[in-house]
Structure 1
Amino acid sequence: MLALTVRPGQQGSSSLRQMAEPHPDEGSLLVQSLVVGLCGTDSEIINGEYGETPTGEDFLVLGHENLGRVLEAPSGSGMSVGDLVVGIVRRPDPEPCTACAAGEWDMCRNGRYTEHGIRGLHGLARERWRAEPDAVVRLSPSVGRLGVLLEPTTIVAKAWEQVERIGKRAFWQPGVVAVTGAGPVGLLAALLGVQRGLSVHVFDRVTAGLKPDLVRSLGATYHSDSLPDSGLRADVLMECTGVPEVVVDAMSNGAPAAIVCLTGVSGPGRRLPLDVGDLNRQAVLGNEVIFGSVNANRRHCEQSTCALAAADPNWMSRLITRTVPLHRYPEAFARQPDDVKVVIDIEAAGQ
């Protein structure tokens, strides 16, 4: 079968290759890949910045944002042939830490977790793959190919869950949300904020085109100025860019008792002038919380299935701006001005 692969650490090593069919030892479910979504993580792996092969292999199959259809399912598995499923990206340690053993592998304590298409496990940008039933999440047939958006939705579902848990430390009645970045994660964070009945404001640099329209179509407010220049003081701030200057803006411009969630991953080596004393004073005197959030566990996957089912499918479909056949995968990584979410069609590879 055909797979999209890379040699981690080697820039420009991506290629299509034939590989063996998945072995039954890998899981009792056999799944046909339909589409995989791309994000910055995939680009960084292709650029040789990181990535880790499975033990005994010299290549890594890409693809962590995924959607597939069950081809084989054992009786009693809770799955049926034809079900739409998404493989859970992160898997717990071989000898689980306390968090992994409790099913919260997104909060792994010893760093020995694995991740499909990223770290130690082949990804799902291949025609077929296997998994055990507890390693996938089933979607409603009505979601269709929009199910490829489940994995990025899990990131913000976890972020929102953590925000709400922190908020319950004391009296909390949030009204205003600021989301920095109108990429897929930022737009999905905004969606979940709107679904909670909050006043959502999204900040991005572009002044026209699809992103502002997507935000306004949600019933949210779009800003092309900076968070400080806007004068907005939000109760919840979701930072979804990883841009150091924007991270500092989010940390410095919340309302009293604000909760700031950092979901964007910044590259190291960037130095900024920062008044740490003022930032500390503001956080302490304002009872503010700043925390980071990454990845998700099964609970967040299930929350995300509900969020997708409740979303306007027409709005969701506009997030997917390009679908590229597997054999033309380099086109998917060549960024276009109006790109939001680009996906690679795997199903067509075998036709």
Structure 2
Amino acid sequence: MRALTVTPGQPSAAELVELDEPSPEEGSVLVRTVAVGVCGTDREIMSGEYGEAPPGEDRLVIGHESLGRVVEAPEGSGLSAGDLVVAVVREPDPEPCTSCAVGEQDMCRNGRYTEHGIKGVHGFARDSYRAEPDRLVAVPASLGLRGVLVEPASVLAKAWEHIEHIGRRGRWEPRTVLVTGAGPVGLLAALMGAQRGLEVHVADLVTDGPKPELVRRLGGTYHGGPVEQVDLAADVVLECTGVPQVVAHVLGGTAPGAVVCLAGVSSPGRVDIDLGSLNREWVLDNDVVFGSVNANRRHYEAAVEALVQADPAWLDGMVTRVVPLEDFAEAVEDREGDIKSVLLLDTPPD
């Protein structure tokens, strides 16, 4: 079968290779991969910045944003041939910590987890794979190819779950949410904010193209330009860029009792910051700043629900490029107006 692989740590080492069909030992459910989404993590792995091959192997099959079609599944698994599924990315550590032991490997406490297509276990940019039923989340046929958005949406479903959990520490009636970054993660954050009835504001440097229109179609306000120009004391902030200067800015100037979720992973970098003033504001206003990454099964299920409730045409607008697996180099190109690129491996759902 075909598989898109890299040699971790080596730039420009992505290569389409032939691998053996997956062994039944890998799982009782056989899945034919329909599509995989391409994100910044994939681009960084392909450029050699990080990534870890499975033990004893030199190459890693990439791709963690998956959509597949069940080929065969055991009786009683809850899955049948033809079902669309998304695979959970993170696997618990071999000697589960307290979080992994209860299915919350997204909150792993010892760092010994593995992640498909990222860390220590092959991803889904291959014609087929196997998994156990509890590692697969069913996707309604009505979502079709849009189901490839479930994995990134799961990350935001978790973020919103935690935001709301923190908010319940006291009487909390949020009205406004500021999202920084209008990439796939930021737009999905905005979608879930709109679904919660909040006044949505999205800030991004891009001033034209599909991003402003997608935000407006949510009923939100798009701020094109530096986030410093946004005059808003938001009740909720979802920082989705990881840009240190943006992170530093959104930590202050929020509404009293605000919750700030940092969902973008930063590269090392220093910025000048008045920590004393920030600390004073956080303490006196009862603000909370927390980080969030990855997702567990319940967040995937919540993501499916959010996408099913969304306007299908709006979701279609997020997928700006679909190319066959053989043209993977085209999918990772950075083009103006891009939001989400998708690699197609099999016939897409109707």
- TM bucket (normalised to shorter chain) is over 0.9
Conserved? CA contact 2:238–2:262, under 8 Å: yes
Q: 2-side partners of 1:281 and 1:251: how far apart?
A: 12
Moved more, 18-27 or 202-211: 202-211
Query: SS where residue 99 of structure 2 aligns?
Result: helix
Alignment match, 2:317: 318
Q: Which amino acid in 2 is paired with 1:217?
A: R
CA 1:84–1:348 in structure 2 vs 1: closer, same or farther (change >3 Å)? closer
Measured on the aligned residues, the alpha-carbon RMSD in Å equals: 1.0
Alignment match, 2:305: 306
Q: 2-side partners of 1:139 and 1:316: how far apart?
A: 15
Cα shift readout 1:236-268 (whole Å, capped 9, x = no counterpart):
000000001110111112111110000000001
Q: Deviation at 1:228?
A: 3.5
Q: 2-side partners of 1:241 and 1:230: how far apart?
A: 16
Q: Deviation at 1:14?
A: 0.6
Q: 1-side partners of 2:30 and 2:143: how far apart?
A: 21
Moved more, 115-124 or 229-238: 229-238
Alignment match, 2:285: 286
Conserved? CA contact 2:248–2:271, under 8 Å: no
Q: Which amino acid in 2 is paired with 1:158?
A: K
Alignment match, 1:223: 223
Alignment match, 1:132: 132
Which structure 2 residues correspond to residues 174-193 of structure 1 after superposition, within 5 A? 174-193=174-193
Conserved? CA contact 1:238–1:262, under 8 Å: yes
Alignment match, 1:165: 165
Q: Deviation at 1:335?
A: 1.1
Query: SS where residue 193 of structure 1 aligns?
Result: helix
Q: 2-side partners of 1:308 and 1:212: how far apart?
A: 20
Q: 1-side partners of 2:116 and 2:18: how far apart?
A: 18
Cα shift readout 1:302-321 (whole Å, capped 9, x = no counterpart):
10110011000000011000
Conserved? CA contact 1:228–1:253, under 8 Å: no
Alignment match, 2:59: 59
Unaligned runs of 5+ in 1: none
Conserved? CA contact 2:22–2:128, under 8 Å: yes
Query: SS where residue 212 of structure 1 aligns?
Result: helix
Q: Which amino acid in 2 is paired with 1:197?
A: G
Alignment match, 1:253: 253
1:337 aligns with 2:336: yes
Q: 2-side partners of 1:255 and 1:225: how far apart?
A: 22
Q: 2-side partners of 1:147 and 1:320: how far apart?
A: 11
Cα shift readout 1:83-134 (whole Å, capped 9, x = no counterpart):
0000000010111101000111000000000000000110000000000000
Conserved? CA contact 1:180–1:202, under 8 Å: yes
Alignment match, 1:194: 194
Query: SS where residue 237 of structure 1 aligns?
Result: strand
Q: 2-side partners of 1:304 and 1:230: how far apart?
A: 29
Query: SS where residue 248 of structure 1 aligns?
Result: helix
Query: SS where residue 115 of structure 1 aligns?
Result: strand
Q: Deviation at 1:346?
A: 1.1
Q: Which amino acid in 1 is paired with 2:214?
A: L
Conserved? CA contact 1:263–1:294, under 8 Å: yes
Query: SS where residue 153 of structure 2 aligns?
Result: helix
Q: Which amino acid in 2 is paired with 1:342?
A: S
Query: SS where residue 321 of structure 1 aligns?
Result: strand
Alignment match, 1:19: 19
Query: SS where residue 302 of structure 1 aligns?
Result: helix
Query: SS where residue 247 of structure 1 aligns?
Result: helix
Which structure 2 residues correspond to residues 50-129 of structure 1 after superposition, within 5 A? 50-129=50-129
Q: Deviation at 1:36?
A: 0.3
Q: Which amino acid in 2 is paired with 1:283?
A: W
Conserved? CA contact 2:60–2:117, under 8 Å: yes
Q: Deviation at 1:348?
A: 5.8
Conserved? CA contact 2:204–2:227, under 8 Å: no
Query: SS where residue 234 of structure 1 aligns?
Result: coil
Q: 2-side partners of 1:41 and 1:85: how far apart?
A: 22
Q: 1-side partners of 2:343 and 2:98: how far apart?
A: 36
Q: 2-side partners of 1:225 and 1:12: how far apart?
A: 32
Q: 2-side partners of 1:229 and 1:142: how far apart?
A: 40
Alignment match, 2:262: 262
Q: 1-side partners of 2:288 and 2:225: how far apart?
A: 24
Conserved? CA contact 2:154–2:302, under 8 Å: yes
Q: 1-side partners of 2:85 and 2:266: how far apart?
A: 31
Alignment match, 1:152: 152
Cα shift readout 1:190-233 (whole Å, capped 9, x = no counterpart):
00000000100000011111100010011111011434422100
Runs of 4+ in structure 1 off by over 3 angstroms are 225-228
Unaligned runs of 5+ in 2: none
The TM-score, its normalising length taken from structure 2, stands at 0.98
Identity over aligned pairs, percent: 59
Q: 2-side partners of 1:331 and 1:19: how far apart?
A: 22
Moved more, 219-228 or 295-304: 219-228
